[in-house]
Amino acid sequence: MGILDKATNASDYNAEYVKMFVYGPPGTGKTYLAKTASDAGQSTLLLDAESGCMTIRDSSVRILSVSIGDMREIYSELAQGSHGYQTLVLDSLTELQKKKVDDVEQKGRKGMTLQKWGEVITWTRKLVRSLRDLPMNVIVLCLSKEQEEDDGDQKRLRIRPDVHGSTLPLELAGFFDVVGYAHTRPQKEGIRHAIAFKSPGGRIITKDRSGLLEAIMPNDFGHIYNTIMERTDDAS
């Protein structure tokens, strides 16, 4: 039996987990996604780099405060698969990368050289990939920033994940099945938190490999998970 004989039918593919990247301004309900995962019956672990978990204090989410030095051990234990958690949330990649910058900057007296920035970006890329590949649902949260980009003969302001590295925001989008932009939508009853998964014009980065999500959905991971998994099961 050769290597080519191991190929399988695309129609036989069944997603086991949802791998999601969500970015947006502060106060748009990103951390709250952990609570909605827990409320949906998923045992949820939140890796807290921001000390900003007040919004989920009435949930059953397990919270672990983390530094960059903890991440290797955390990954090792999660990769073993005997931890009992179904969903992992990293809050947030922006803050964790800043801690890495601080750590790298303290090495030597030359400040942030190109070599040091390269170390930070490589570390970030490897971290996100390793977490994404864990056998569980993974939600990586990130702040957003406005960034001026060339668009033909003119420059336009676009919204991108707030991480260092000129190409890293687009790379991160490539790592995940689902990429959403968290924002608020004024409603008669008050401000509603929502996530955009489709965006014409490219002002924001969005993605939905499942093709099953609506353009804009509530910031409810249980609902997002069920939308993808139930329809995937129906299709199979």
Q: What is the structure's pLDDT at 10?
A: 79
Evaluate if residue 232 carries a pLDDT over 50.
no
Residue 234 is assigned to a structural domain of this protein: no
Q: What is the structure's pLDDT at 109?
A: 73
Residue 4 is assigned to a structural domain of this protein: no
Pick from 123-127, 175-179, 185-189: least confident? 185-189
Give strand pairing partners of 46: 63, 89
Per residue in 88-126, pLDDT (tens digit) is 999 999 999 999 999 999 887 778 999 999 999 999 999
Residue 6 is assigned to a structural domain of this protein: no
Q: What is the structure's pLDDT at 231?
A: 55
CATH classification of the domain holding 77: 3.40.50.300
Task: Name the more confident of 202 and 17.
Answer: 17
Task: State what percent of residues in the chain have pLDDT above 90.
Answer: 75
Per residue in 134-144, pLDDT (tens digit) is 999 999 999 99
User: Crossing angle for the helix pair 93-105 and 114-132, nearest 10 degrees?
Assistant: 140
Per residue in 7-51, pLDDT (tens digit) is 988 777 778 999 999 999 999 999 999 999 999 999 999 999 998
Number of domains in the chain: 1
Residue 9 is assigned to a structural domain of this protein: no
Residue 149 is assigned to a structural domain of this protein: yes
Pick from 5-14, 134-143, 156-165, 188-197: least confident? 5-14
Residue 127 is assigned to a structural domain of this protein: yes
Q: What does DSSP assign to residue 201?
A: G
Residue 162 is assigned to a structural domain of this protein: yes
Tell me the C-alpha distance between 20 and 12, whole Å: 22
Evaluate if residue 172 carries a pLDDT over 70.
yes
Q: What is the structure's pLDDT at 151?
A: 73
**What residues make up the domain containing 116?**
16-228
Residue 163 is assigned to a structural domain of this protein: yes
> Can you list the alpha helix ranges (DSSP code H) found in the chain?
32-39, 71-80, 93-105, 114-132, 168-175, 221-235
Q: In 3D, which of 61, 85, 64 has the Cα closest to residue 73?
A: 64
